[in-house]
Structure formats: C-alpha cells, structure tokens
Structure 1
Amino acid sequence: MNDRTRRIAHLDMDAFYASVELLRYPELRGKPVVIGGGRNATPKILADGTRRFARLRDYVGRGVVTTSTYEARAFGVFSAMGMMKAAQLAPDAILLPTDFESYRRYSRLFKDAVGAFTDQMEDRGIDEIYIDLTAVTGESRELGDRIKAAVRQATSLTCSIAIAPNKLLAKIGSELDKPDGLTVLTMADLESRIWPLAAKKINGIGPRATERLAGIGIATVGELAAADPGLLQEHFGRTYAEWFARVARGIDDRPIVVASEPKSMSRETTFERDMHVNRDRVTLTPALTRLCERVADDLQRKGYGGRTVGLKIKFADFRIVTRDLSLPEAVTDAAAIRRAAGECLKRVPLDRRIRLIGVRIGSLERTSDSTSAVSPAQHELPFDR
C-alpha cells in the first residue's frame, strides 16, 4: 500500500500535563503555569477556601520544566528547560508539582476514546499516538472532528490531529494548527505547506543537524528537497543524505506498529548548545535526573521493570560513548535508575563538551498483567533529535 492510499493520523494532546492540572485548578486558565515543582509547590488552602499558588520566582533547586501552558511558552519557557532559567524568563508564572498518576489516568481515557474508532493505534508515549485510518469509513476532516469530540468528551481536554498519507507528514501536521487543531494533508500540499517550514520541523532533524544544514545554506524543508545530493553526502554521508532526500519530499513508508514486546526503553535530549561539563552542571544534572524520571514513568505506565541501566553521551564532535550497569533485580523507580546512571557516568571521560545525553533501560521484565504492558516498537527517525 503506497502513500496515495494510506491515511495516517497523528494525535497529540495539547500541553497535556498542564491541561490536566487546569482541570483541577480552573482558576489558572489563561495564566502562565509551569509544571515541574516538587511537593513544596503544592497549592495551599487558605482560611477563606481559596488557594495560594507557588510562584516560579521562589523556586530554588536544579529541577527542570516538565511542561508549561501556552501562556508560559509565550515567555520562552518550554519543557526540559532548567527551572532557574525559566524563573528568570517568567518569574510571576504559577508553579505546580507533577502528578504522573493523574496524567496516566487521562492518557488511558483518551486512548480508550480513540480505540472506539479503530484498534490500529501506535502508542508513542503518554500524550501522543499514531492511528491508521485507512480502513475507517468517513471523510478525513469529518472523521478527525469525531475523534477530537470523543477525546474531549472522555477527558474534557483538547487535542490536535493531522491526517496525512504517512507518519512523517502526520507528525509535522499535528503541530501546524495547535492548540485544538485539525489538519488534513495530501502529497499535493507538500510544496505549499511543508516546504516553507524550517528543516528542524522534520522529526529527526535536531539542533545540531539544523546548525550544520544552515552552514551549507539550507534552512527550510524546500531548500533541503532542492539541495544537491552530492553536497549533502559530502557533509553528512551517504546514508543521511539519502534520508534527507526522502523526508524532504514527504516520503515515509513506516507502518503503524500496533503492539510488540519492547527490548528496551529509552529517553534522550539534545541540548540547544554544547554543554561544558563544569560550567553547565546546573543544566546537565537536572536534565539527567529528568530523563531518569521519564524512563521510570514509561516503565511503570507500560508494566515493565529493567535490570540493565545504560547511559549515552554524544559529545560536540559527534563521538558517542555508552556505559551500562547490570543490576541484581529489575528496577522501576526513578531514584534507582538515577543512581545507576550516576555510576555509569563515573566511567565516562568527561573531557569535551556534551551535545546529547540519554538513559536506557534494558533486560526488561513484566511487572504487571495490565494491557498497558504491551508496548509498540519505537522506530525513531535516524538523525540526531
């Protein structure tokens, strides 16, 4: 089946964690809110029954932003940013603690709502899924509206959906009309809607690749599509040059992966600039901790534990170093994963600036009989993220 007959949707919940919190605290709607504080950020109930919320300016520590409302993003506050930096940008923003139990519950609700339309879903995390709508009856826009309405009815939350010929275009499209967006793309829309976008909008082209592309005069998807193949191969090698050529033309034949047993689970982050091991410790340390928390959340949500903890570091020169630590028993909690990652870190020569860090859990074991224990294979696009 080619892209002309496929119909793939990408559904992304809008500012998911923050939106769940706004259901709990509706008085915060329309205000800049940052999620990621500890228990000290729990709102206080005053004598008159009103709530007093913590402010970002009062935060002290090395935590990172889990997510933020669109109002906070307008100040430049985004997920994975150091909390202290965020406090400089939006000192008056409301600070709330994370509540992963609630986020997991709402995640199950929205996925169950989509499941009423089709079981051809690929779980991409707590707040996003791919859906194969090829065999589902209905015109694309009408079907998208129905799915969005079902999600809202089940959760009182909004989502953004793009329906396109493949996963690549659906992923890009779901960001075009956020929040509460519905985008329908065909291959005929490639030149008008996709090519004018920045090349970094393609999932798989991260900050470092964006910088290197800019260095050879390529800033947009259209410029990437028109680039000389020899030039791309000279700077990125044959494999990546061929991949660039395909994705810039909207070509992607990856299938929807409904369910398979995962061999490992991992999270990684690419920094906006190369990090100095000592001077940027205030950013590196909480970033590593946050990755461990996200992997732990993935494990718990999907019903797995792991006996091997791995650390990945990509340096500024693109050299990659990995270290693993085998544990006597499977772990699921963030603290245990963070300790093991710390032991791995001690075995890495930190003599250069750091571009990317990642945490991986392998040797997985089932810890729950829940259906959520079945996880999709995570086939990532191949370049830096």
Structure 2
Amino acid sequence: MGVILHVDMDAFYASVEAQRRNISGPIVVCVYSGRTEDSGAVSTCSYEARELGIHAAMPIKNAKKIADESGKEVNFVGMDKEYYDQFSDDIKEEILEKHTETIEKASIDEFYLELETENFDEAEDIAKKIQTSVNEDFGVTCSVGVAPNKLVAKIASDQEKPEGITVIRPEEVKNFMRGLKMDDIHGIGGKTVEKLNDIGISSVEALAESDPALLVREFGEKQGLKLREKARGEDDSEVKETLQKQVTRITTLEENSRKFNQVKKVFPELASDIIERLEEKDMDFGSVSLIVIDTDIEMSTRAKSLKSRVRDEGVLIEEGEKLLEEFLQNSDAVIRRVGLRASDLKKRKGQKSMDAFT
C-alpha cells in the first residue's frame, strides 16, 4: 500500500457559495423549511461565521439574531446540494485523478487517495500541488492529511484547518496519536468516551495500552478490539475506488441568452468531451441531463432516461436539445452557463451506437 492522502475541503458549502456568488465576509448556508422567511436550520457556515458563534443545526432565526448583534454583514444563502455535488465531482476529475486512479469519495467534501509512492516527501509535494490547484482552479481551499493509513490521514487533515497540510510518517504515528484527545479519533464519540472513562480509561495512551479482554467485555469483541487499534493508529482498511456515477461538462456562453439556436451551439463540444471521458472509462450511459445556470446563479436541471445504455455523441446532443427546448418553454430564466451530463453509467459489455438507440 502506498501513502494515503485525506483531502478535506474547508467549509465547503460556504466556500463554494463565496466563489459562486462572488461574496465575502461571513457566510451561512441554510436549509429553509419554507414555512416562514426564517424557518429552518443552518447547514454549515464559513469560519468567519463560526467565530461569531453561528454553527450547524442552529435555527436560522437564532443565527440571524447573532448576525444582527455582531454588527457585521452576514450572508445567508440557501443550500444547493446539487451544485455542490457537481463542484465536488469536478475537483475529483480535474485535479485529484491527475495524481492517482485509486480515489474514494468518502463524502461530498472529502476524498481518500492512495498514491503509488511510498516516499512521504513525494507525497507531501503532491498534497501541495493538489492544494494549490484546488485554490487556483476552483477558488476554494482544502486541508490534507498525509499518513500510512486512512484513519491517521483523516485525523491529520483536521489538525491545521483551514488550508493546512499535516504529514505523519510511520515512525511518528505513535506519538501523534498519543497527543490527541480520545474524541479527536474518528469513530470514538462522546458516549464511548464516557463509557471508557467509567472503566478507568481516560486518554488515548491508556486506551492504546489497555487490556484487550477488558475492552471486549465492555464493548464486545469487534468494537472493543477496534477501539484499541484506533488508539494505536492501526487501520488496514483499503481505499475503495468510488465508481463514477456521471460525467458532466459545463461551459459559459459567450453572452447570456434565451435563444435556442445560440445556446445549443455549445452542445457538440460538450458532448465530445463527455464521450472522450466515457471512452477512457469504457462506460455507457443510460440518462442524459441538461444543466442550466441562469443570470441569478441559480442551477436548474432536466433529465431524460434512455431505453438502453449507449455511448453516442449524437444521443447526448439530440436529447440535450430536447431538454433545452422544454426548459425554455417552461422558464423565463436567461442562461449564463449550460452543461450536459451523462449518468446511469455502466461498464460496456458490447458495442452500442445510435443505431441501437433508435
């Protein structure tokens, strides 16, 4: 196994919104319930907003009260998970996959990478390149943990947030783990810490050196032994390559438009890029989507499932045009950016073309 990187995006939703809307200052991303203007809860927020005392799961009205009392201009925006998903996929495809094919997308804002190298200096250089590219190409930041395994890499990525790189070499794992609090370790929550305290284990070092029989008696064989392994920084879990679910290409129009013929002109290039990517992965698609970002920076999508999976540029263009026509008929939005997406992907089993589709 090579060196493991854990790439963790910093305040991801808020950072994406800052870049997307070109706004600065504290940002609060909200899940609105729709009952009233302020009903709902905070999903996440920028570090600046956190410094004011705003945090995830807080009622929006409470967050707005804190914002008013702070005297600062705080930006409240609605959560747009589909947009963040696409942003995340673009980072994976355009940056992370340049360094390794073994990538596990652990969540929308975190990735595990297994590098081919076992040289930690080389791995640190790769982490720096990833960090620089994410910032320069996407306008957001990330923190990276570099370690011998997934567990330690994940903990390491949280040590110097935001925009930090923490490298833990094999010979450093023991001291690194013993410098942590027990609830710093992924998978050891507050209730587990309380139960450990009740049996006289109050530090990571004590847990690492504890009697396995005691832990098995209190937590069961599987969990008990796993707790001891975690405290020792031991983890043999593999980086499981995440199967790609979709390929999307989006472009900015030369000028904002609602004209069908003007918008569809970009489809051949988008479709060509998508098919090229699918050829690399040897995958066919069973669904086509249109992605529209209007002049208010709001994203809309329309999708069409196909009767069978294909890998055909003509299908992408034809279905994209139908979806665009439908969108223009049902929306007054002026289009700023437009994209096509091929999804419902599957490894190719046999030759399929437009003839098979029609």
TM-score if structure 2 supplies the norm length? 0.61
Shift of 1:252: 0.7
Alignment match of 1:97 (pick from 69, 74, 78): 78
Residue 177 of structure 2 corresponds to residue 222 of structure 1: no
Q: Render the CA deviation track for 1:323-356: whole Å, top value 9, x for unaligned.
A: xxxxxxxxxxxxxxxxxxxxxxxxxxxxxxxxxx
Secondary structure of 2:227's counterpart equals helix
Shift of 1:16: 0.4
Alignment match of 2:107 (pick from 119, 125, 130): 125
**1:19-34 equivalences in 2 (<5 Å):** 19-29=15-25, 32-34=26-28
Q: Distance in 2 between matches of 1:222 and 1:59?
A: 50
Shift of 1:234: 3.1
Secondary structure of 1:246's counterpart equals helix
Aligned to 1:79: 56
Residue 165 of structure 2 corresponds to residue 165 of structure 1: no
Aligned to 1:143: 126
Aligned to 2:30: 36
Q: Distance in 2 between matches of 1:149 and 1:258?
A: 24
Shift of 1:191: 3.4
Q: Is the 8 A contact 1:36 1:67 kept in 2?
A: yes
Q: Distance in 1 between matches of 2:118 and 2:213?
A: 42
Shift of 1:36: 0.8
**Matched residue type, 1:77:** I
**Matched residue type, 1:38:** Y
Shift of 1:130: 0.4
**Matched residue type, 1:33:** I
- Do the aligned partners of residues 140 and 259 (structure 1) sit closer, same or farther apart at CA in structure 2, a change above 3 Å counting? closer
Residue 14 of structure 2 corresponds to residue 18 of structure 1: yes
**Matched residue type, 2:20:** R
**Matched residue type, 1:149:** T
Aligned to 2:171: 188
- Do the aligned partners of residues 191 and 136 (structure 1) sit closer, same or farther apart at CA in structure 2, a change above 3 Å counting? closer
Q: Distance in 2 between matches of 1:260 and 1:101?
A: 18
Alignment match of 2:190 (pick from 178, 198, 207): 207
Shift of 1:197: 1.1
Aligned to 2:38: 60
**Matched residue type, 1:19:** S
Residue 137 of structure 2 corresponds to residue 154 of structure 1: yes
Aligned to 2:92: 111
- Do the aligned partners of residues 164 and 180 (structure 1) sit closer, same or farther apart at CA in structure 2, a change above 3 Å counting? same
**Matched residue type, 1:370:** S
Q: Distance in 2 between matches of 1:124 and 1:245?
A: 23
Q: Distance in 1 between matches of 2:22 and 2:243?
A: 39
Q: Distance in 2 between matches of 1:148 and 1:214?
A: 39
Q: Distance in 1 between matches of 2:346 and 2:50?
A: 33
Shift of 1:104: 2.2
Q: Is the 8 A contact 1:14 1:178 kept in 2?
A: yes
**Matched residue type, 2:240:** V
**1:196-275 equivalences in 2 (<5 Å):** 196-259=179-242
**Matched residue type, 2:134:** V
Q: What is the aligned-residue RMSD (CA, Å)?
A: 3.2
Structure 1 unaligned spans of 5+? 41-57, 263-302, 305-367, 375-385
Alignment match of 1:134 (pick from 89, 95, 116): 116
